[in-house]
A and B are shown apart, each in its own frame.
Chain A
Amino acid sequence: MRARPSRQALLYLGVVLTCGVLLFPIYWLVITALSPADSLHHLPPKFWPDVPQWGIFREIIEQRPIPLWLGNSILAALGSVGISMFVSVFAGYSLSRFRLRGGPSLGLFILTAKMLPATLLVIPLFGIFRQLGLIGSLWSIILAHATLIVPFSTWMLKGYFDTIPRELEQAAMVDGCSPLGAMFRVILPVATPGLAATALYGFVLSWSDYAYARTFLTNAQTNWTANLGITTMKGEYITNWNQISAAAVLVALPIIVIYLFLERHLVGGLTAGAEK
């Protein structure tokens, strides 16, 4: 049955409005970056600069160690995702496959860690890292981010493993695999979309962190992540919002590119994991 035209038009209008609300901040960020500093406070606002300042990007890269900050962010994200995936794959698989005494409550307990606000954990983590001598080191935020990523990704992977029939590893075991061999040779390759979606989720979580980096890395400039670096561009008396916006665009770019490339797999991964 076809929807009536008026209904369909309303539907499209809804989609356009939603997209507008979601995309406007990004659009405004780009406009702010490309506008000359003195035209930002004009009223009425300009929705496209007369002369877009494309040189702003080169300017800020020359003035600030943005590649270093991006590199640190990438290292922190890769490190925390690596650790989280290693832990979550085994944890999620066990929760999905083995009947453990207290298994369901253990799973819920893991999830409660995700419910705690990051700011609540900052102080105890600071104490721990200071004793370990990790304050100022990238390892501090790698470990701190992992504590945030592990609970959620464990659950996400458990959900994904639940959708993979047990018969697959049973068949692998009859074919001569050990239980661990069946997991590595059959289940993990089959779960690739779920693994990719989970890893990307962790990557974004780490990439967008500010609170931990601000707390653990403030006194170690060479280890600043991109988000922390950008906030230092705000002056006490004068703030060049176009420079900050340009830096923000550069920091957002890698994630957007990754999403564009993986979008098809990610949607497949997330929905397949959500089924059941």
Chain B
Amino acid sequence: MAGIRIEHVTKSYGPLAVLKDFNLDITDGEFVVFVGPSGCGKSTMLKILAGLEEATSGRVLIGDREVTDLAPGDRDIAMVFQNYALYPHLTVARNMGFGLKMRGTPAAEIDRRVKDAARILGVEHLLDRRPRALSGGQRQRVALGRAIVREPQAFLMDEPLSNLDAKLRVHMRAEISALHKRLGVTTIYVTHDQIEAMTMADRIVIMRDGEIQQIAAPDAMFAEPANLFVAGFIGSPGMNFLKSKLTMGSGAGTVSLYGQDVKLALPAEPLKALDGREVILGLRPEHITEGNSPVTFTVSPRLVESLGSEKYVYCDIPEANRTDIARAAGVDDERGDAQIARLINAGDIALGRPVQLGFDPARLHVFDAETGRAVR
């Protein structure tokens, strides 16, 4: 096992830069998730780590060893692919033992390690089958098994759960996390699913257009997103964005939301530079509550989705507060004129019937409307 250091890695295809100055230090045993929308460069970075793609510039170190120019097989890493990439002509046992055989491990040792790994993953009874005779979940386990028998310095996983159905995905997510705790091997996991990132990662690296947007632990990223993109991407449903002019009053910033003056809980110092300018205010759907709050407003729901234990209430944002920043950072195409409230154990909420909602101004995130950066 070893830590991984990525120094100033870039990747370009002609004039198209898909990775821009990527720097990251991963400590030994850490579970790091690269997350971002498709085309953000996360899979490219993983392939550069694996040696399947060449970096245009920069260095990659695994442990103390520079591996930038080494072949994938010489890096002592194992990879789990999105489509499993099991060898269809080999049995499960030989699939799992292939990497050891390539390294000249004695047959008895291969046999022992394959059996050990199969026991850990519960696929002992499948060892003589071929991949086509396995279900999706079993294939996924075998692909993991092929990685763990090698006992490598690090695991690289490229969206390994995206081919599974929703229920199995949740199950395997927990299994991979448990496996990581048990083996303690440094793991880099690529996904476009922020829920996987939030639930599995020690640290999340969120990317967009080849650039790292923020590196933080899941809770920290949720609580203090660095910019509008991160705020919209992390969390489900995504953060609501509202627009307002900021005015600095007596020691505190004030914005106008739902026709009311709302005093911001943020210290005045970082807000001063934005006095008189427009800011974007972020409010998570789960921070909107029903009934009395420090700030309340009355709306008519235009859509109510009930998930049993909770309700998503969609309602219009007043004209003055609308922004053109789509929720979830452009991942879905919801317009900026609606906000979502996520109400736990909500009462009877019906379409068109006015309902009183509210929030605590301390929950508001403030972003510079020009740069998109969070103000703290």
Contacts and interface: CB of A to CB of B under 8 A. Distances in A.
B120 interface: no
Nearest to A171: B85
A177 B87 CA distance: 13
B147 to A, nearest CB: 9
B85 A190 contact: no
A147 B102 CA distance: 37
Contact of B73 (A167, A174, A189, A190): A174
Contacts of A189: 89
Contacts of A192: 89
B198 to A, nearest CB: 27
Interface string A144-169: 00000000000000000000010110
Interface in B56-85: 71-73, 77-79, 81-83, 85
A92 B59 CA distance: 34
B71 A173 contact: yes
A176 B104 CA distance: 10
B73 A176 contact: yes
Interface in A78-129: none
Contacts of A170: 47, 50, 52, 72, 79, 81, 85
Contact of B87 (A168, A173, A181): A168
B73 A173 contact: yes
B99 A176 contact: yes
B89 A190 contact: yes
A180 B139 CA distance: 26
B73 A165 contact: no
Nearest to B104: A176
Interface in A172-191: 172-178, 181, 186, 189-190
Interface string A194-207: 00000000000000
B85 A176 contact: no
Contacts of A173: 51-52, 71-73
B85 A178 contact: no
Given A171-B81, A175-B98, A186 B87 contact: yes
Contacts, number: 59
A209 to B, nearest CB: 34
A192 B89 CA distance: 10
Given A165-B83, A167-B81, A167-B83, A174 B72 contact: yes
Interface size class of B (residues with CB under 8 A): 20 to 34
B352 interface: no
Contacts of B50: 170, 174
A165 B72 contact: no
B13 to A, nearest CB: 10
A262 B247 CA distance: 81
A167 B143 CA distance: 12
A34 to B, nearest CB: 46
Interface in B67-121: 71-73, 77-79, 81-83, 85-89, 98-99, 102-103
A167 B85 contact: yes
A167 B43 CA distance: 13
A165 B85 CA distance: 8
A274 to B, nearest CB: 18
B87 A190 contact: yes
A177 B102 CA distance: 7
Contact of A176 (B47, B86, B103, B146): B103
A168 B88 CA distance: 9
A181 B72 CA distance: 13
Q: Which of A175, A177, A181, A189 gathers the greatest number of chain B CB atoms within 10 Å?
A: A175
A192 to B, nearest CB: 8
A174 B79 contact: yes
Contacts of B51: 173-174
Contact of A190 (B71, B83, B88, B150): B88
A176 B86 CA distance: 15
Interface string B304-316: 0000000000000
B87 A174 contact: no
B85 A168 contact: yes
Contacts of B98: 172, 175
Contact of B79 (A171, A176, A178, A181): A171
Contacts of B78: 174
A190 to B, nearest CB: 6
Given A165-B83, A167-B83, A174 B77 contact: yes
Contacts of B47: 170
Contacts of B99: 174-176
A173 B47 CA distance: 12
B72, B77, B146 — most chain A CB neighbours (10 Å): B72
| A165, A173, A176, A181: residue with the most chain B Cβ atoms closer than 10 Å | A176
A168 B98 CA distance: 12
Contacts of A172: 87, 98
Interface in B26-72: 47, 50-52, 71-72
Contacts of B83: 165, 167
A171 to B, nearest CB: 4
A166 B238 CA distance: 35
A170 B51 CA distance: 9
A87 B81 CA distance: 31
Contacts of B150: 175
A184 B50 CA distance: 21
21 contacts: A165-B83, A168-B85, A170-B50, A170-B72, A170-B81, A170-B85, A171-B79, A171-B81, A171-B85, A171-B87, A173-B51, A174-B50, A174-B52, A174-B79, A175-B146, A176-B102, A177-B73, A177-B102, A186-B89, A190-B87, A192-B89
Name the 3 nearest CB pairs between A and B, nearest first: A176-B102, A176-B73, A175-B99
Interface of B: 47, 50-52, 71-73, 77-79, 81-83, 85-89, 98-99, 102-103, 146, 150
Given A167-B82, A170-B81, A181-B102, 6 more contacts: A170-B72, A174-B72, A174-B77, A177-B73, A178-B73, A190-B88
